[in-house]
Structure 1
Amino acid sequence: MTRSLEPTDIVEITTGAGVDAPVHGWRAKCLQRLVRMDLPVPRSHAISARAVRAIAQGVTADTAALGALFADGCGLVSVRPSAVMPEWGGPGTVLNVGVNDAQHARLVETRGKDAADAIYLGFVQSYAINVARLDPDMFSEDGEGALERALAAYRAEMDEDFPQDPVRQLTEVLRSMARAWDAPTARLLRQAKGAPEDAPLGLVVQQMALAIGPGLTGSGTIQMIDSVTGMRRMTGRFKGQMQGRARGQGAETLYLTRDERGPSLEELAPEVFADLVGYCLAARTRLRDEMQIEFVISDGELAIIDALRVQRSSRAAVRIAVSLAEDGIIPTEEAVMRVEPRALSELMHYQIDPRAPRDIIARGIDASPGAATGKIVFTAAAAQASAMRGEDCILVRRETVPEDIRGMHAAVGVLTERGGMTSHAAVIARGLGLPCIVGANGISIDARARELRVGGRSFREGEEITIDGTSGEVLAGSAQLLEPALDESFNRLLDWADAFRDMGVRANADTPEDARTARMFKAQGIGLCRTEHMFFDEMRLPIMREMIFADRPEDRKVALARLLPIQRQDFVELFRIMAGLPVTIRLFDPPLHEFLPQDRDGMRELAESLDLPLSDVTRRIEALSEFNPMLGMRGVRLGITVPEIYDMQARAIFEATIASAAAGAVVVPEIMIPLVSARREVEIVKTRVDAVAAALRNETGRDFAYRLGVMVETPRAALRAGDIARHAAFLSFGTNDLTQMTYGLSRDDAGRFMGAYVQQRVYDEDPFHILDEDGVGELLLTGTQRARAAHPDITIAVCGEHGGNPQSIAFCQRAGLDYVSCSPFRVPVARLAAAQESIRNRGEKSA
């Protein structure tokens, strides 16, 4: 079937041609810019996506139009994909289309037999494999006689000679590439990179600049930036007598610049080399990015074939964006938009050098970014002992529990067999800035043998492994690591981001170390201080257990009185570090059984320390155990039934506030009540907190202010936010538990099947990783609207782990929240993500 092409279906790429990226693709538009720069670009044509789609459906383009593409030059062309966005990829480039017996004879005369054979053979092999779909093993030979054997193999398999008509060759290549683009696998790969399902593909047909032949001939690439570090450094290489898979006689790889290890292009052709450098620098300015130039030298003549955005690591992306803005090539607003927020996570931690080999033994959920190498340990005590010896260790557990926090502090990384994005190990590791992998597939832990087994291999305690919390990969042995890159470019980018950002960013911080990290990353306060983590210290845990075993309120108060000065000092230190910035302190949340041992040896030790019979200790622990502890006696429920705990904490907060004021730091602490589901719960706790404040004012004669708020973690609290808001100065959505309760999922166990659910599209994403906008998000929107209707001046925030996820941050900003709070090491990510959403919103409004 033949049809006449529209004028825009095949367009020669000239300075004034109507080349449009949505119609003809990014490569066509980039080549036009190179042409406008007066670079030596071979004659090129753009084929529109509409024409490519028609060709894929069997439509044959007009032969005269296609035949015109072979005019001038050597009579051969290449075909390259030209998607709308370069990251969408496309089918592989096909070189030397149009070569046949007659062309081969002419090439023998002009470039020599070896070069002619290599050019013809390369195309026959590519055509047979990619167009005719023949067995690649039949077309893999090189060397003397390979061309004749390839032509004979094609004839035997296809029952016809290799096509001699250049137009037929081009038609079949175009159709093959068009259909390859529409193949199901290719479509899935594109969608994974953000392309729409019906993403268009244009094609570029370009006259060949032959890289095989007489004189200085070959192909290469050049760029002026290091792709890994982003530092200014010329990189690239020149392959003499090589074009694609085709290799001519004397093929070799040369260095670009003078090098003691071998000859260089700079020495062999200084004028050509100087032109290349000049073109590369000019492309940076005109194309507004660091570009990799693809070139061919044919008997000393330079041709620029293509220009691509330099592939770059996260640290390079930041340096490049900042450098372009500082040089006035792009505005700072664009520099902020060019860096993927998640990329900042990699800059804050050690990373495995992408150039280093990897012996991957397992994969899991990348719960906390960064990389670390250390010796395997299986207990918190072993991790502490390893740290005391000055040895880095990786804490390997089936799943961590609150008692493992000391071991996590001592380790350089954490690996667990179970868990998900909001499991205990994941949340604590992110707060500590520790690399962490949870839910690792295929690993098993033999605690008795002190052995980690995976895929038929075993690793004993003390052997080294490396975990990459950025990719979720576990590696055998040690790996070469890149240091964090918290340099001037990192800070400059974030300062620019803050200038555009409308929403606040705070940190979840439980310890002075967390608070210092939060300040280092310029958090605007603490949005969640989980006070229970303070009680797992070795000196405090026995007192906490004594309080739990007390039978009467009076006895509980005695134990809590011993904790009061310790807790007060915790808050004094936090207030001092935060220097007047807001600090939101969540009152005690977890069920009491988490502070008690669960094994027989631990129970025996506790009985001895409390001077109680083992049977009494065992019965008490059993009595405190719950079938569903995360839905049981915890949070505000504990505060109402055991009110002495909240009384002590409120007093510690207020005493710390008075002490801080005496030291010259005015503090207005924010006290947050966890796990609320009813207005009356807030009223009861508020009455007791106000009473503690009044009593302390009477005792000291000192006045102070504070704000009381609620952590919205239950669906009912979100739905009744209007009632609750009347008694609260602020609401902060705890989206970890809110997601857990909305879905009826255990955030610690869902990782076991979440991969299968996402793969089968039950859920689009792991709802513990990216906020579920349709369900949990609707609760958040409903709660926000009802709270503001009842209390217009109320502050509303998110303090769950979603507060550090860029996609979720964008939703929170659209929902009109005042701030998000996240782990300290995710604060830079949140700052950049919030800035980008503000920029997008302004762009939409101006449009």
Structure 2
Amino acid sequence: MTKRIYFFGGGQADGDGTQKALLGGKGAGLHEMTRLGIPVPPGFTITSEVCTEFFASGEKMPEGLLAEARASVERIGELVGVRFGNVEAPLLVSVRSGARASMPGMMDTILNLGLNDAIVEGLSARMQNPRFALDAYRRFIVTYADVVLEIERKRFDEALEIARRKAAVTLGVDAARMTTAELQRKLPDSMLDVETLRSLVKEQRRIVAEVTGKPFPEDPWAQLEGAIMAVFRSWNNARAKTYRKMHDIPESWGTACNVQAMVFGNLGDDSGTGVCFTRDPSTGEKRFFGEWLPNAQGEDVVAGVRTPHPIARGGGDDEKSLEVRMPEAYTELVRVQDRLEKHFRDMQDMEFTVQAGKLYLLQTRNGKRTGRAGVRIAVEMVREGLITQREAVLRVDPQSIEQLLHPTIDAKAPKKLLARGLPASPGAASGQIVFHADEAERKAAQGLPVILVRAETSPEDIHGMKAANGILTARGGMTSHAAVVARGMGKCCVAGCSAVAISYETATMTVTIYDEAGRPTDTVSVRGGDVITLDGATGSVYLGAVPTAPAALSAEFEELMKWADEKRRLKVLANADTGADARTARSFGAEGIGLCRTEHMFFDDKRIAAVREMILSADVEARKRALAKLLPFQREDFVSIFHEMAGLPVTIRLLDPPLHEFLPHERKQIEDLAATMRVRPSDLTRKVEELHEFNPMLGHRGCRLAVTFPEIYEMQARAIFEAACEVAAGSSAPKLEIMIPLAMTRRELAMTKKSLERVAAEVFAEKGRKVDYLFGTMIELPRAALRAAELAEEAEFFSFGTNDLTQTTLGISRDDAGKFLGAYVESAILPKDPFTSLDVEGVGELVATACERGKKTRPNIELGVCGEHGGDPASIRFFERVKLDYVSCSPLRVPVARLAAAQAAITEESAGARTTD
């Protein structure tokens, strides 16, 4: 039988850190730490294969698994010296999810499992602290009811608030006018007395009985079974699905389940719990970083319901730091974190508990980090000798590189400071305030920038966090849910902004303004819909929109990119249509322009009238007169681009869109154009109607324009060659490539090529100078891919226009696909949006076929891609595999493509080496 449960404890472990696919990241870390002799409470991991079997069988537990789990729980009890379900000396366990990829807070965890009324009394006597046992019990009931019994948590939150207000009266606290958040700060959970907790537990059990029609389960073994099944089910909850979609985590992976002996950080002042990182996850600085809470359970730190304290001195509140309060536990933790980082050779994110002065590690995993931190950590670890340059290149997520290119707050811009919180995730973000995740998603879908403002975020907010430009929380620290998830997303986040009070009922954020002495001087109320700006680098919150400045790239970034460029084979070019775009692209490392779209030049206000006149002309001579007006504009554009790309390839696509896209539709526009052309407005209106197309994507566009109106491409060719000759006179000639769009037959290419060669000869004769150039085509149609061998007889290069090739292959209009593509991905009909990541099986096969057939005709044919897939790391891996020469993408994605191309080359090289072996 396949092994389904892996045990760890007593210095021995069945698994190890290499088994993330089977044991999940959390489980693999626990097993590896146990092997290293680090203090870890004993437990066991149920493998992810069991989760897959669970779903395959209609959510039924595999036969015999519960008996194996029971035996493993009893083995934990033997190591700890207590027994599960025993009234006098009870063992309590945690049941936690653990996928192979970190998904912080997205799946479910249950703590303190194994409690019932009788056991609570026994635990109270054993701990000599009745308050502790009752607090553990009320936490357990709420979590179990929420996760396993699926009872709305709001019912229990309301019961807790009622209990808190009753306790406030007893303690003489005037709570009548306090909001829920204010009351919680004034009277935290740790101040609830025994009788309040006892009454609260009774009310919680009543809610369970009312909703389910059954009493809260008393049998610890039944509780365990329900919890394991709930953890598996949480793999498919809404927030986990959203997170998987955001981070490309396959649904087929499933989650492991970890059952572990509880250790308690809420036993008193000599106990506590916290989260720490071996380096700063926001900046990458090499410093031991983290937060902790005394007399608390782990969920208190992550949920952000209490303001945590820094672990080390220098964090702003030295006397409350773990280093001062528990120096022995701190010293041990420093030793452990250093050992774990060196062992795993990556920044570690750790959870720990101190129980009665003794340190326990509950988790270690490779920590989530911002793009900037990821680059710095990788480069510095190379310098420290922990990893190689090759490993550093592989370690940084290419998508995270985009974060480094985003603008920052302009230091010189006028701004009104509202408040300061913790700089949880860097970047700058402005937007309308929204207080609910659903509202954030709805407004973002309307194209509105929003800032999600919450007292603290929870995993249920994940869809709103994804939609928002930035996140602001009133509570929580640098290791809270908001901070960790925002860093993973690359979202700007300011957390723990204590001057902010939030009222969801009135959709208002009230900010208390303090003077330098810390005295409140004023309050400012900001309502939903008002605009604020977050500075995630400083933790500042500003009123209104604040201008931004371009990002400054670090020395570590430049060094990593240098290593990447040494490793990659694919060239990386940019899609750029202006000299400014070309300059930006080159500053990000572009090695040329792979797509210059000439139609973008036609929409300028100074040119559009001439373009329309050309389109609506009654004969060839009138059309040529209009084109003559456009020629100097086009030539000027190309001169600008050629100067910026001196000595580098520039691929210019001749006019592609259908002509009707340039035409006027408003009455005044038609009347003004009629006056210029000296024709009747009614004649122009009729002409506009005649040129209308029902399916313009498949209509009169691309090289079809050259067949019917050859003078259009001839004007463009003249502008290109004249500009090239002008720039070449300064000895900085570009490597010129002229590309014909939408060709499907050799004859189309031959006719167009002949026309352009004639224009080139005329210009070279006039200028007394010749410029070398290549003639090629875009492969955008399935027929073009299949007939690539004959197209290569005319074309010296192919550039795959994968946007249109995807549309024409799948029969899906990109503009209309939003109505159903989401459902296709959700239902696993398609693995991803094919316009975001290449459909390798369909479109990819056409690309591979065209490459193979084109090379048979012309072995030295140049092959590239200029669709948006050129900036997608997953697509780039395929392009490396089929041995394209280059990818071309938008300027801001050039660094992403450079790193992804390097990773693809390393992966292919490694695969080849394994094949050879």
Q: Which residue pairs with 1:670 in the alignment?
A: 737
> Cα 1:109–1:686, aligned 2, differ >3 Å: closer, same or farther?
closer
* Matches for 1:230-269 after TM superposition, within 5 Å: 230-232=284-286, 235-244=289-298, 253-258=308-313, 259-260=316-317, 263-269=320-326
Q: Which residue pairs with 1:29 in the alignment?
A: 28
How many equivalent residue pairs?
743
Structure 1 residue identity aligned to 2:61: A
Q: Which residue pairs with 1:417 in the alignment?
A: none
Return the alpha-carbon distance in structure 2 between the equivalents of residues 791 and 65 of structure 1. 66
| 1:738 aligned residue (805, 808, 829) | 805
2:187 is aligned with 1:181: no
Return the alpha-carbon distance in structure 2 between the equivalents of residues 223 and 209 of structure 1. 21
Q: In terms of mean alpha carbon deviation, does 763-772 or 570-579 score higher?
A: 763-772
Shift of 1:128: 5.9
Structure 1 residue identity aligned to 2:781: T
Return the alpha-carbon distance in structure 1 between the equivalents of residues 433 and 579 of structure 2. 38
> Cα 1:104–1:682, aligned 2, differ >3 Å: closer, same or farther?
same
Q: In terms of mean alpha carbon deviation, does 96-105 or 313-322 score higher?
A: 96-105
* Matches for 1:345-424 after TM superposition, within 5 Å: 345-350=402-407, 358-359=434-435, 361=439, 363=441
Return the alpha-carbon distance in structure 2 between the equivalents of residues 328 and 313 of structure 1. 22
1:803–1:809 CA contact under 8 A, matched in 2: yes
2:150 is aligned with 1:144: no
Q: Which residue pairs with 1:710 in the alignment?
A: 777
> Cα 1:799–1:709, aligned 2, differ >3 Å: closer, same or farther?
same
Q: Which residue pairs with 1:87 in the alignment?
A: 102
Return the alpha-carbon distance in structure 2 between the equivalents of residues 356 and 511 of structure 1. 33
> Cα 1:622–1:313, aligned 2, differ >3 Å: closer, same or farther?
same
> Cα 1:777–1:18, aligned 2, differ >3 Å: closer, same or farther?
closer
* Matches for 1:645-656 after TM superposition, within 5 Å: 645-656=712-723
Question: Gaps (5+ residues) in structure 2?
Answer: 55-59, 83-90, 164-191, 408-426, 452-468, 470-490, 492-528, 535-542
* Matches for 1:741-752 after TM superposition, within 5 Å: 741-752=808-819
Q: Which residue pairs with 1:12 in the alignment?
A: 9
Structure 1 residue identity aligned to 2:224: V
2:593 is aligned with 1:526: yes
Structure 2 residue identity aligned to 1:306: Q
2:388 is aligned with 1:331: yes
Shift of 1:214: 4.3
Q: Which residue pairs with 2:910 in the alignment?
A: 843
> Cα 1:795–1:368, aligned 2, differ >3 Å: closer, same or farther?
farther
Shift of 1:311: 2.8
> Cα 1:779–1:80, aligned 2, differ >3 Å: closer, same or farther?
same
Return the alpha-carbon distance in structure 2 between the equivalents of residues 648 and 252 of structure 1. 68
Cα deviations by residue, 1:162-220 (Å, 9 ceiling, x for unpaired): 74xxxx62574155314530467349738646555554654444443322334422212
Return the alpha-carbon distance in structure 2 between the equivalents of residues 567 and 784 of structure 1. 32
Return the alpha-carbon distance in structure 2 between the equivalents of residues 660 and 182 of structure 1. 65
Structure 2 residue identity aligned to 1:256: I
Return the alpha-carbon distance in structure 2 between the equivalents of residues 785 and 365 of structure 1. 47
Return the alpha-carbon distance in structure 2 between the equivalents of residues 725 and 799 of structure 1. 18
Q: What SS does the corresponding residue of 1:30 show, helix, strand or coil?
A: helix
> Cα 1:717–1:160, aligned 2, differ >3 Å: closer, same or farther?
closer
Structure 2 residue identity aligned to 1:798: V
Q: In terms of mean alpha carbon deviation, does 829-838 or 300-309 score higher?
A: 300-309
Shift of 1:582: 0.6
2:95–2:110 CA contact under 8 A, matched in 1: yes
2:702–2:741 CA contact under 8 A, matched in 1: yes
Return the alpha-carbon distance in structure 2 between the equivalents of residues 368 and 657 of structure 1. 44
2:842 is aligned with 1:775: yes
| 1:321 aligned residue (369, 378, 381) | 378
1:806–1:829 CA contact under 8 A, matched in 2: yes
Q: In terms of mean alpha carbon deviation, does 585-594 or 478-487 score higher?
A: 478-487
Cα deviations by residue, 1:87-141 (Å, 9 ceiling, x for unpaired): 2565314236478746844653654333344345544555566567778647866
2:675 is aligned with 1:608: yes
1:500–1:838 CA contact under 8 A, matched in 2: yes
> Cα 1:585–1:42, aligned 2, differ >3 Å: closer, same or farther?
same
| 1:578 aligned residue (645, 666, 685) | 645
Return the alpha-carbon distance in structure 2 between the equivalents of residues 639 and 207 of structure 1. 75
* Matches for 1:481-630 after TM superposition, within 5 Å: 484=551, 486-630=553-697
2:330 is aligned with 1:276: no
Q: Which residue pairs with 1:309 in the alignment?
A: 366
Q: Which residue pairs with 1:61 in the alignment?
A: 67
Q: Which residue pairs with 2:125 in the alignment?
A: 108
| 1:340 aligned residue (397, 410, 423) | 397
Q: In terms of mean alpha carbon deviation, does 358-367 or 560-569 score higher?
A: 358-367
> Cα 1:485–1:224, aligned 2, differ >3 Å: closer, same or farther?
farther
Return the alpha-carbon distance in structure 1 between the equivalents of residues 631 and 398 of structure 2. 41
Return the alpha-carbon distance in structure 2 between the equivalents of residues 507 and 656 of structure 1. 20
Return the alpha-carbon distance in structure 2 between the equivalents of residues 281 and 483 of structure 1. 36
2:44–2:72 CA contact under 8 A, matched in 1: no
1:341–1:829 CA contact under 8 A, matched in 2: yes
Return the alpha-carbon distance in structure 2 between the equivalents of residues 177 and 719 of structure 1. 53
Structure 2 residue identity aligned to 1:92: T
Q: Which residue pairs with 2:859 in the alignment?
A: 792
The two structures, once aligned, show a CA RMSD in angstroms of 4.1
Return the alpha-carbon distance in structure 1 between the equivalents of residues 117 and 544 of structure 2. 53
Structure 2 residue identity aligned to 1:95: N
> Cα 1:623–1:113, aligned 2, differ >3 Å: closer, same or farther?
closer
Cα deviations by residue, 1:389-447 (Å, 9 ceiling, x for unpaired): xxxxxxxxxxxxxxxxxxxxxxxx9xxxxxxxxxxxxxxxxxxxxx9xxxxxxxxxxxx
Structure 2 residue identity aligned to 1:726: E
Cα deviations by residue, 1:284-311 (Å, 9 ceiling, x for unpaired): 2222222223222233333333223323
Return the alpha-carbon distance in structure 2 between the equivalents of residues 263 and 640 of structure 1. 79
Q: In terms of mean alpha carbon deviation, does 814-823 or 76-85 score higher?
A: 76-85
Q: In terms of mean alpha carbon deviation, does 710-719 or 516-525 score higher?
A: 710-719
Q: What SS does the corresponding residue of 2:361 show, helix, strand or coil?
A: strand
2:128 is aligned with 1:78: no
> Cα 1:357–1:222, aligned 2, differ >3 Å: closer, same or farther?
farther
Q: What SS does the corresponding residue of 1:61 show, helix, strand or coil?
A: helix
1:98–1:170 CA contact under 8 A, matched in 2: no
Q: Which residue pairs with 1:217 in the alignment?
A: 271
Structure 2 residue identity aligned to 1:324: M
Return the alpha-carbon distance in structure 2 between the equivalents of residues 341 and 369 of structure 1. 26
Shift of 1:365: 12
Q: In terms of mean alpha carbon deviation, does 746-755 or 787-796 score higher?
A: 746-755
Shift of 1:236: 3.0
> Cα 1:482–1:49, aligned 2, differ >3 Å: closer, same or farther?
farther
Q: Which residue pairs with 1:377 in the alignment?
A: none
TM-score of the aligned structures, taking structure 2 as reference length: 0.72
Return the alpha-carbon distance in structure 2 between the equivalents of residues 750 and 162 of structure 1. 48
> Cα 1:104–1:221, aligned 2, differ >3 Å: closer, same or farther?
farther
Q: Which residue pairs with 2:703 in the alignment?
A: 636
Shift of 1:789: 1.8
Shift of 1:796: 1.7
Q: Which residue pairs with 2:424 in the alignment?
A: none
> Cα 1:715–1:807, aligned 2, differ >3 Å: closer, same or farther?
same
Shift of 1:609: 3.1
Shift of 1:668: 3.2
> Cα 1:313–1:481, aligned 2, differ >3 Å: closer, same or farther?
farther
Return the alpha-carbon distance in structure 1 between the equivalents of residues 397 and 566 of structure 2. 18
1:770–1:805 CA contact under 8 A, matched in 2: yes
1:356–1:480 CA contact under 8 A, matched in 2: no
Q: Which residue pairs with 1:169 in the alignment?
A: 220
Q: What SS does the corresponding residue of 1:238 show, helix, strand or coil?
A: strand
Q: Which residue pairs with 1:208 in the alignment?
A: 262
Return the alpha-carbon distance in structure 2 between the equivalents of residues 514 and 571 of structure 1. 12
2:350 is aligned with 1:293: yes
2:725 is aligned with 1:658: yes
Question: Gaps (5+ residues) in structure 1?
Answer: 374-412, 414-434, 436-462, 469-475
Cα deviations by residue, 1:570-613 (Å, 9 ceiling, x for unpaired): 22221221120111111122233333311101111222333433
Return the alpha-carbon distance in structure 2 between the equivalents of residues 160 and 763 of structure 1. 44
